[in-house]
Amino acid sequence: MPDKHLVAAVEDIPPGGRKILKVKGREVGVFNLDGEYYALKNVCIHQGARVCLGRVTGTTLPSEVYEFKYGMEGRILRCPWHGWEYDITTGRSLFDEKVGVVKYPVSVEDGQIYITM
């Protein structure tokens, strides 16, 4: 049965910020993307790095030959070990959306952030 866990107050994680903490023995990264909160398990599916310590950035988008399109700024989490990229909003990897890090539901109530796991 999933339980809700208090992870932070909204003022603890400003826009663009993150908080990494342990919940039920699992390390989780909670991210604030423009006022929306997302929680990801801190384990990269490639070789198990603490992915939530990676850079939050953007990425190159599909484009025509000789074109360079950059986008999704502030929405991509890049693993610090080998650079695999994940969409923070979904937890899915950019190279194959069938795979990704575990994502937990997040809710905000009375200025408190909760995750369900």
Note whether 46 binds ligand FES by CB under 6 A: yes
Residues 47-106 that bind ligand FES (CB under 6 A): 47-49, 51, 79, 81-84
| Residue with Cβ nearer ligand FES (39 or 51) | 51
DSSP class per residue in the chain? ---EEEEEEGGGS-TT-EEEEEETTEEEEEEEETTEEEEEES--TTT---GGGSEEEEEEEP--TT--EEEEEEEEEE-TTT--EEETTT-BBSS-TT-B--EE-EEEETTEEEEE-
Instruction: Point out which span in 16-24, 44-52, 59-67, 101-109 binds ligand FES (CB under 6 A).
Output: 44-52
Site of interaction with ligand FES (CB under 6 A): 44, 46-49, 51, 79, 81-84
